[in-house]
Amino acid sequence: MRRIAAALAALLLGGASHAAEAPPRVTIVTSDIDRFFALYGDPVLVAAPDTLAARYLADASPGLQEFMVLRRITPEKLAAALRAKPQLFADARGCAAKLGNVRTRLAAATDRLAALYPAAKFPPITIAIGRGTTAGTANAKGLYIGLETLCMAKFIEADDEDRFVNIIAHEYVHAQQPLAQVESEDDTVLHAALVEGAAEFVAEKISGSVGYPLLHLWAKGREAELETAFLAEKDGKAIGSRWLYNQQGKDGWPGDLGYWVGYRVAKSYYDRAPDKAAAIREIIEMRDPAAFLAESGWTPGMKL
């Protein structure tokens, strides 16, 4: 009897061990970074950016190949960036050293996404070296992060590890959003702000923080003034506006403030929804920003 019990216990423990070793939902590819810094460690190649760029991009992973298409990364453009901004690429080593903890935290975040949004897809995340222009982008095939650009973006979040986890969580939500799968130069301020704000709201739920926390600090106490201005400008084009895609902003006005407004609209929608699971699904699957705004209950300056 004891032998049977022992055998059953061994089977149960073996099953538990097997379950504990289940692979993570998401694949995080960092092989391009390893290749880049192996090449960057050769002083001869550092002195020959054209050769370094060509050799690095010639063996690109599938994710880096897609990133190259999406963000127009060519050997010529990468070589130009290596010549113009050598310190940017040298500094990226420091962030690369923190990717182990980033990987662990992102695995936990994607577990929370699965719990909140059962329809979630888990395309791979590729973290690679770009040409110093894009911190991250996503489509249905995957998520693509430019290590060197995200590493320098301390104006978003001072802590490197937190910045990587929270921005990647934000971008991973974009991989789920129908509206984020198509980019148009004609997107309105409202459209872009709600796509970005929805990603901010869900990212906070899965990673513990929004991707752009300093916007919330800057806007605190000015909600009514800022959101009234946003409402007046919501139908203008996002590109060229003071709300989206304006880098670090200017004249004391921060870049991408529309992310903050869109977050508040999404939070208002969620807070008033009786079915929170349905609200998460509707925030992610939003297809009509104007209708979503009307249904959100959001008003400029409201307390959230």
CB 183 within 8 A of CB 142: no
Q: Are residues 57 and 147 in the same domain?
A: yes
pLDDT at 281 over 50: yes
**Distance from C-alpha of 128 to C-alpha of 56, rounded to nearest angstrom:** 10
Specify the amino acid at residue 126. T
Q: Are residues 66 and 146 in the same domain?
A: yes
Q: Are residues 161 and 248 in the same domain?
A: no
Length of the chain in terms of residues written: 304
Residue 140: give the domain boundaries.
28-176
Write the DSSP string, 143-155: EEEEHHHHHH-TT
Q: Region 181-186: what's the mean pLDDT?
A: 88
pLDDT at 19 over 70: no
pTM for the whole thing?
0.86
Distances (CA, A) of 196 to 19, 83, 104, 137, 189: 36, 33, 25, 12, 11
Q: Are residues 160 and 202 in the same domain?
A: no
For the chain, the average pLDDT equals 91
What tens digit of pLDDT does each residue of 41-50 get? Answer: 999 999 999 9
Q: Region 247-255: what's the mean pLDDT?
A: 92
What tens digit of pLDDT does each residue of 137-174 get? Answer: 877 788 999 999 999 999 899 999 999 999 999 999 99
- Whether 110 maps to a domain, the answer reads yes
The number of distinct structural domains making up the chain is 2
Q: Are residues 84 and 194 in the same domain?
A: no
Confidence of residue 183 (pLDDT cuts 50, 70, 90): confident
- Whether 301 maps to a domain, the answer reads no
Which among 128, 155, 176 is the end of a domain?
A: 176
Q: Are residues 164 and 198 in the same domain?
A: no
- Whether 18 maps to a domain, the answer reads no
Q: Are residues 252 and 160 in the same domain?
A: no
What tens digit of pLDDT does each residue of 46-69 get? Answer: 999 999 999 999 999 999 999 999
Q: Are residues 87 and 171 in the same domain?
A: yes
What tens digit of pLDDT does each residue of 93-131 get? Answer: 999 999 999 999 999 999 999 999 999 999 999 999 999
- Whether 6 maps to a domain, the answer reads no
Q: Are residues 211 and 256 in the same domain?
A: yes
* Strand ranges in the chain using DSSP code E only, listed in sequence order: 28-29, 125-128, 136-139, 142-146
Query: How confident is the model at residue 291, as a pLDDT?
Result: 98
Tell me how crowded residue 88 is: count the other CB atoms within 10 A of its CB: 17
Confidence of residue 9 (pLDDT cuts 50, 70, 90): very low
Which residue in 198, 98, 219, 202 sits closest to 151, CA to CA?
A: 98
Q: Are residues 202 and 105 in the same domain?
A: no
